Chain A
Amino acid sequence: MLKNRIIPCLDVKNGRVVKGINFVELKDAGDPVEQAKIYSDGGADEICFLDITASNENRDTIIDIVRKTAKECFVPLTVGGGVRTIQNITDLLLAGADKVSINTAAVKDVNFVREASKKFGSQCIVVAIDAKKVSDGKWEVFTHGGRNKTKIDAVEFAKQVEANGAGEILLTSMDRDGTKSGYDVELLKTITDSTNIPVIASGGVGTLDHLCDGIVKGGASAVLAASIFHYGEYKIKEAKEYLNSKNVSVRL
C-alpha cells in the first residue's frame, strides 16, 4: 500500500535557513544542509527547500545548497522558489534536486508547465498553488507569496496544470499559512476530488491532528509542514507514530 508522505519544508533565504530547527546539538542552526540531514535521518519521506531569496543574483546559493544536500540525503529533494525558466530547472536538477516546484511562472503561462514536463518528465514537475478563499466554495490563485491576486479560480487552475503535465500539486492555503489553525480541509478536498494527480497539503499545521486531517479529510497524498518541525515541537518520527496510531499508513 502506498504510504502517505511527511515532508518537512525548509525556508532558505540567502543560503540560510529562516525559522530553523532550534536544536541544541546543531552546530550551525542556519545551515540548510545540516538541517536537511537531520530530517532525512529522522525519517522524512522527502525534503523540500523553498528559496525565498528576493534577488536573482543569489540563485547560485540555492544551487550550491542543493548540491551539498543531495550528496548526503538519499530521499527525494524538492526545490521551489524563483523557478522561472527551463534553465533554472536544468540547474536545480543537475545539482541533485529530484523535483522542482513552479509557482508564479506557472500562473503567468501554463505552457511553461507543459514545456517543463515534456522536457524533464512529469515526475519532477510540481506546481505550487497558493489559494485564498474568496467566497463559499471558491478559491482564487495568488502569486508572489500571496501578495498578488490573479482572478484565476484555484480549482480550474489545478485541473489545467494537471492537463499540462504537472506530476503533483503543492497546495497552500494562504488563509491558513502561518496561523497554526490547520489546513483548509475544504479547499484540499475540493482540489483532490477534482484532480487525478497527487496533492501535497500545505499551510496552517499546528498540531499532529492537522496532519491527520489533511490526509483523512482532505484526501492529500502528502503533508508538508514547516514550523512544527523547525521548532522541535514534534519530531518526524513522533508525527509518523501518531498518524500510524490513527490508522493512517506511513513509512515507519
Chain B
Amino acid sequence: MNVTIVDYQSGNISSVINSFTEVAKGKVNLEVTSDIKKIKSSDKIVLPGQGSFKSCVDSLNSINGLVETLKEFTMTNKKPLLGICVGLQMFADVGYEEAETKGLGWISGKVSKIDNQKGKFKLPHIGWNEIEIQKESKIFKDIKNKSHMYFVHSYQFIPEDKSVISSTTDYSSKIVCSVEKDNLFGTQFHPEKSDKIGLKIIDNFLKL
C-alpha cells in the first residue's frame, strides 16, 4: 500500500512524518511529497496542516493542480484521506482565521475561533484533553472513550451536518475534535503527538 503525506510547505510536518514512519515500518510504503503524480497513484493520503487556516489554504493553492487532485482523490475516487489539525479544518467551506478564506468545501461548515468566554479559557487550547466519542469511527477501533489526545489550536471546525462528528472535547464548549464522512477522516487533535494511543489511531487509518 502507498500512503502519501502531502508536503505543501504548511509548516512543521516532521512529527507527522516521524509517527507515520514508526507505525508504517515494513507494512506500508510512505511518501512525503507534493508531486501530483505520486499523490494520484496513492492509496491513502494524509493532509497535515499547521499555522493559520489562511496560510494553509494559500499554500495548497500555490501548488499547481494540487487542490483538483485532492478533490478527485476524495470526491470522485472516494479514497481515504486523513486531515490533521488545520488539515481537517480545511474540509470546511470557509475559515475566519486572519481573514475570511474559502476552504476546500468537502464537508459543509465553517471554522471559527473558540469562544474563550472573556478570558476564562486560555487560547490556544494547548495540552491533553479527553475525547468523547459521538459515533463509531473506523479510526477509533480499540480506542476507549475519554482517551487523552494532544491539542494545539485556537479555531474549531463547526460542520453543518452534525452526523459527521465522531468525537468532541470539552473546552469552553463541546468542540468538534474528529469527523468521519464516508472516506474522509479528520482529527483536530494531533495523533502524531498523542503518545501510544495516537499511534494506534494512525495504525487504524493505515489498516483501513
- Point out residues on A near B: beta carbons under 8 Å: 1-5, 40, 45, 70-71, 74-76, 93-98, 120-124, 167-168, 196-198, 221-222, 251
Contact = CB atoms under 8 A, between A and B. Distances in A.
Contacts of A93: 11-12, 14
Interface in B47-98: 50-52, 55
Contacts of A95: 14
Contact of B195 (A75, A94, A98): A75
A74 B148 contact: no
19 contacts: A2-B127, A2-B128, A3-B127, A71-B18, A71-B21, A74-B15, A74-B22, A74-B193, A74-B196, A96-B15, A98-B12, A120-B12, A120-B51, A121-B11, A123-B126, A124-B50, A196-B116, A198-B124, A198-B126
Contacts of A168: 124, 126
A71 B127 CA distance: 20
Q: For chain B, what secondary structure do more than half of its interface residues adopt (helix, strand, loop), or is it mixed?
A: mixed
Contacts of A96: 14-15, 18
B124 to A, nearest CB: 5
B14 A123 contact: no
A71 to B, nearest CB: 5
Nearest to A89: B12
Per CB-CB distance, the 7 closest pairs between chain A and chain B, nearest first, are: A121-B51, A93-B12, A123-B152, A251-B128, A96-B14, A251-B148, A3-B128
Interface in B157-176: 170-171
Interface in B133-187: 148, 150-154, 170-171
B28 interface: no
Contacts of A3: 127-130, 148
B26 interface: no
B123 A121 contact: no
A192 to B, nearest CB: 8
Contacts of A120: 11-12, 50-51
Given A76-B193, A120-B12, A167 B127 contact: no
Given A196-B123, A197-B122, A197-B124, A1 B150 contact: no
A75 B193 contact: yes
B48 to A, nearest CB: 12
Given A98-B193, A124-B50, A196-B122, A70 B11 contact: no
Nearest to A222: B127
B3 to A, nearest CB: 18
Contacts of A98: 12, 15, 193
Interface in B7-24: 11-12, 14-15, 18-19, 21-22
B191 to A, nearest CB: 9
A97 B196 CA distance: 18
Nearest to A197: B122
A222 B170 CA distance: 18
B140 to A, nearest CB: 18
Given A74-B198, A167-B124, 4 more contacts: A2-B125, A96-B15, A167-B152, A197-B123
